[in-house]
A and B are shown apart, each in its own frame.
Chain A
Amino acid sequence: MSAGDDNHHNDDHDHDHQHANSRPLSDPELRVKALESVLVDKGLIDPAAMDALIENYETRVGPHNGAQVVAHAWSDQQYRQRLLEDGTKAIAELGFSGMEGEDMVVVENSATVHNVLVCTLCSCYPWPTLGLPPVWYKSAPYRSRVISEPRKVLKEFGLKIGDDVEVRVWDSTAELRYMVLPERPPGTDGMSEEQLAALVTRDAMIGVSLIPAPKI
């Protein structure tokens, strides 16, 4: 099994609680339970704070936030300009800020440039706008290959980039967090921001896919 593969083909996929009494606990289950218990025993952590953190990143924070940023940029040229000049500030205008998005840079796709994001050294990712990263983004295959053979990796995602287009790979080695502003698809004139946001995908904001024209 390759590195970073989170055993996501297992039967117990997201249903640990249902099996908790019928099978032995796994190594990481035992270890995190022990660590949490010791820290709670010592009064150093508040389990309710942990619950609040989980809830926050399972519900409030996610790619639906980034989709609003993109839809707004598509609808308002001045906002698009502000977003490209100072990503942090412009994203905060829509209410998104904070952990793993303190300093944001937005890079724009066009007919001649295609941007794609990676963190080869760990798995840095813009949480406030995109949520927590998917397993493949954190995996060894993606981190090792997209930097040196981006066109092949993009093809595996079903995205063929023309030879005349420049592929720019952004390796987030510092505390800047990147987000791709995808191209607005054709056939979306007159759509509301809400309708546009519904078209925007997480993968397009990472740069491993484009946003197709809506089906009529």
Chain B
Amino acid sequence: MNGIHDLGGMHGFGPVDAEADEPVFHHDWEKRVFALLVPLSAAAPFCVDEFRHAIERMVPASYLQTTYFEHWLHGFEMLALEKGVVTTEELRNGHAAAGSKPGTPSVLASAVEKITTTGRSARVDAEVKAKFKEGDMVVVKNINPPTHTRMPRYVRDKLGCIDRDHGVFVLPDSAAHGKGDKPQHCYSVYFSAQELWGTKVSRNDSVYVDMWDDYLVPA
């Protein structure tokens, strides 16, 4: 979707404000939000693409006025509600409705080390034919889906070159909407900075963007 999250190339946000000796978390509530990701994604359950899409569906003004962990909190509330794990009344009251069935936690403390060190790769062990190979010139499709995509606006209709083939991966555009993995090759695609931003930028510079077969056509 052409959402507010798609920030690449926008103007008006001012200088980058880097804090020296920044702590991992700035507030205790941020820790609790962060720590919900693993257990809630197992309990609800949802995949990373659904999570990102939940954040992208925030009201644009609200997205810009809130912090990163508030975005996460919004995503968690939205998905917990949509998956039927909680109700708005329960979130308002801060406790489970009377008579709700007791569940079992999917993630126990004893499993945390294994879960975090293993992760969940989006790489798919499937034989899928690659549409492109290293060195192929490609054009990014000009599409504007109202649904989830990882194709940023700034590359649409631009000419690039396949830098490397990363192998076969889940397609987020499909997985975010429960339509299956649609596994296909994902590539690092080279763009000259001038192709993306015009002739006023350095002719030496370049941008590399990861893109799937579905995003590209031969040049």
Contact = CB atoms under 8 A, between A and B. Distances in A.
Q: Do A and B come from one complex?
A: yes
A164 B39 CA distance: 49
Interface string A38-62: 1101111110111111101110011
Interface string B132-169: 00000000000000000011101000000000001001
19 contacts: A8-B19, A32-B33, A35-B76, A42-B86, A43-B103, A45-B39, A49-B108, A49-B109, A50-B39, A54-B25, A56-B116, A98-B118, A105-B188, A120-B6, A136-B18, A139-B17, A140-B10, A147-B154, A151-B202
Interface string A1-44: 11111111000111011000000001011011111111101111
Given A35-B73, A42-B103, A163-B202, A176 B186 contact: yes
4 A-B pairs with the lowest CB-CB distances in the bound complex, closest first = A120-B8, A174-B210, A50-B35, A41-B96
A28 B40 CA distance: 17
B22 interface: yes
Interface of B: 5-11, 13-19, 22-40, 43, 48, 52, 55, 63-70, 73, 76-77, 80, 85-86, 90-96, 100-109, 111-113, 115-123, 150-152, 154, 166, 169-170, 172, 186, 188, 193, 196-197, 201-202, 204-212
Interface string A192-216: 0000000000000000000000000
Contacts of A49: 35, 38-39, 105, 107-109, 111-112
A24 to B, nearest CB: 13
A62 B202 CA distance: 34
B33 A45 contact: no
B73 A32 contact: yes
B26 A14 contact: yes
A141 interface: yes
Given A122-B52, A175-B48, 18 more contacts: A14-B25, A17-B28, A31-B73, A33-B94, A38-B90, A41-B96, A44-B103, A44-B104, A45-B105, A46-B108, A57-B24, A98-B117, A120-B7, A120-B8, A122-B5, A122-B55, A135-B22, A140-B64
Most buried by B among A43, A105, A128, A175: A175
A32 B150 contact: no
Contacts of B107: 45-46, 49
Contacts of B201: 148-149
A147 B117 CA distance: 31
A39 B43 contact: yes
A175 B38 contact: no
B41 to A, nearest CB: 11
A105 B198 CA distance: 28
A4 B34 CA distance: 16
Given A136-B19, A175-B121, A36 B24 contact: no
A169 B206 contact: yes
